Amino acid sequence: MVNNHYAVIGGGINGLSVARQLLLDFPDSRVTVFEKEQKVAQHQSSHNSGVVHAGLYYEPGGLKARLCRRGAELVKQYCLEKDIAYDECGKVVVALNTVEEIRLESIYQRSIANKVADVRMLNAEEISAVEPNCIGTKALYSPRTAIVSYGDIAQKIAEEILEKGADIILGRAVTHLTENNKKISVHFSDNDHHDSTFDYVVSCAGLQSDRLAAHSGDIKTPKIVPFFGQYYVIDEAYKEHVKGLIYPVPDPSYPFLGVHFTKRIDGQMTIGPNAFISLGRENYSGTDYNVVDIYDFLTYRGFWRFSSKNVPAAARELRTVLSQTNFVAQAAKYVPSLANVSVTPATRGIRAQAMETDGSLVDDFVIRKQGNITHIRNAPSPGATSSLAIAEYIVKEIMTHE
Ligand SMILES: Cc1cc2nc3c(=O)[nH]c(=O)nc-3n(C[C@H](O)[C@H](O)[C@H](O)COP(=O)(O)OP(=O)(O)OC[C@H]3O[C@@H](n4cnc5c(N)ncnc54)[C@H](O)[C@@H]3O)c2cc1C
């Protein structure tokens, strides 16, 4: 592995972290990152909630549970070392009734099983000591949950790997990879291919990961089905009503965490993200659409099976898409003093969520090796928290495994 030439496809936080890990472990190797945009980290890595998740929710023993906890430690360490802003503002997951209390208790048990530091349950009075304007019957408090800018972290990693001798080639969209006698060629959309061949390739293509994998001979499913998440920034004068992060108890039938209050590292307070099907994998405006992307999910059996099973949750999310008032009302259930707050639409993010043909959403991270090519096939939240640990896992365990 020492003097090899590695290619990484995708300059998001995962691709950049993999490139960094390769250079740390094999300083004499050559590493080339191919990114289709003109800058790194233009997609999920800079369109997210910016939360360093502590690992509360994830199935013990799964990759998410393991890599989120390790990743959170590594992100904190990286921010300290590189002087990147890191705010351990804490998080409460708030139950509003007895049904939610039961679900919250099982999240608490998971967080204990996952050895998340310092978590504890709060009663209604204790909630107000942490979040004075928040109401709830019980809450799970995670004081170590933090906020960062993953876009800034990705930029810093890009600078670091350039200093360590990597090449980052921008504006090059890879269409497929071919492997011949353990050497891999990288092909581009203009029928061109890169002059060198590579010994190993790691594909970290986020919203395009299923296409790149399938075009390179890997299995066709699960497919990425894009779900957007809209954020709103609340009126500056009201932002002190929330101190840190306030989350609802997730609905077990819907795999997203629900609209929450998120303090941003730049000091803004946002609410969001909701979760609804996106009319394009990379259309952030909300008014644009992409015919190929729409065709892809409309002709996918999994999408129709998912839709038929999730009508109530989809209807709830649609209400937040159609009406800003509804959106704010969802959040104000937790902080009633913000019921009439004015909000401004902020960016939306689009989740690269893998979906199986039976309509189930793939919960855990999926990383597959095919010859000397490794594909990240599913890395939704907490994928940014976990990125430095995902990189360690790929380089130290997956790539060395024959
Ligand atoms: C709304 C939302 C909220 C989230 N909140 C959180 C959070 O609070 N905490 C957390 O830990 N995680 C969160 N996540 C998840 C997190 O953002 C992602 O897990 C993480 O950013 C994934 O990084 P990535 O590098 O795999 O993908 P991306 O950042 O999407 O990067 C993929 C890169 O590959 C490039 N690419 C794609 N195809 C090609 C090609 N063919 N050729 C060349 N380049 C290509 C793209 O241009 C892109 O730069 C959230 C995600 C969303 C959408």
Characterise 61 by phi-psi region: left (phi > 0), alpha (psi -120 to 50), beta (else): left
Enclosing domain of residue 275: 88-145+223-355
Task: Residue 172: give its domain's CATH number.
Answer: 3.50.50.60
Co-location of 213 and 237 in the same domain: no
Report whether 148 contacts 84 (CB < 8 A).
Answer: yes
Nearest-CA residue for ligand 1 atom 27 is: 206
User: Does the residue 53 lie in any domain?
Assistant: no
Co-location of 133 and 260 in the same domain: yes
Euclidean distance between CA atoms 213 and 374, whole angstroms: 9
Co-location of 254 and 371 in the same domain: no
From the alpha carbon of 229, which atom of ligand 1 is closest? 1
Co-location of 339 and 281 in the same domain: yes
User: Does the residue 80 lie in any domain?
Assistant: no
The helices-and-strands tally (H runs, E runs) of the chain is 11, 19
Co-location of 14 and 158 in the same domain: yes
Co-location of 97 and 112 in the same domain: yes
Task: Residue 243: give its domain's CATH number.
Answer: 3.30.9.10
User: Does the residue 97 lie in any domain?
Assistant: yes
**Gyration radius of the chain's alpha carbons:** 21
Nearest-CA residue for ligand 1 atom 9 is: 51
Euclidean distance between CA atoms 79 and 320, whole angstroms: 34
Q: What's residue 402's pLDDT?
A: 67
Split into its structural domains, the chain has a count of: 2
Co-location of 329 and 255 in the same domain: yes
Q: Where are the alpha helices (DSSP H) in 37-142?
A: 63-82, 98-113, 124-130
Q: pLDDT of 153-204, one tens digit each?
A: 999 999 999 999 999 999 999 999 999 999 999 999 877 777 779 999 999 9
> Token pair for residue 216?
């390179």
User: Does the residue 83 lie in any domain?
Assistant: no
User: Does the residue 317 lie in any domain?
Assistant: yes
Co-location of 201 and 171 in the same domain: yes
User: Does the residue 52 lie in any domain?
Assistant: no
Report whether 110 contacts 57 (CB < 8 A).
Answer: yes
Other Cβ atoms less than 10 A from the Cβ of 38: the count is 8
- Ligand 1 pocket: which of 21, 42, 45 to mutate (most atoms within 8 A of CB): 45
Report whether 128 contacts 134 (CB < 8 A).
Answer: yes
Co-location of 254 and 350 in the same domain: yes
Q: pLDDT of 203-261, one tens digit each?
A: 999 999 999 999 999 999 999 999 999 999 999 999 999 999 999 999 877 767 888 99
Q: pLDDT of 94-121, one tens digit each?
A: 999 999 999 999 999 999 999 999 999 9
User: In this model, does residue 2 exceed pLDDT 70?
Assistant: no
Co-location of 124 and 247 in the same domain: yes
From the alpha carbon of 350, which atom of ligand 1 is closest? 53
Co-location of 261 and 342 in the same domain: yes
From the alpha carbon of 13, which atom of ligand 1 is closest? 25
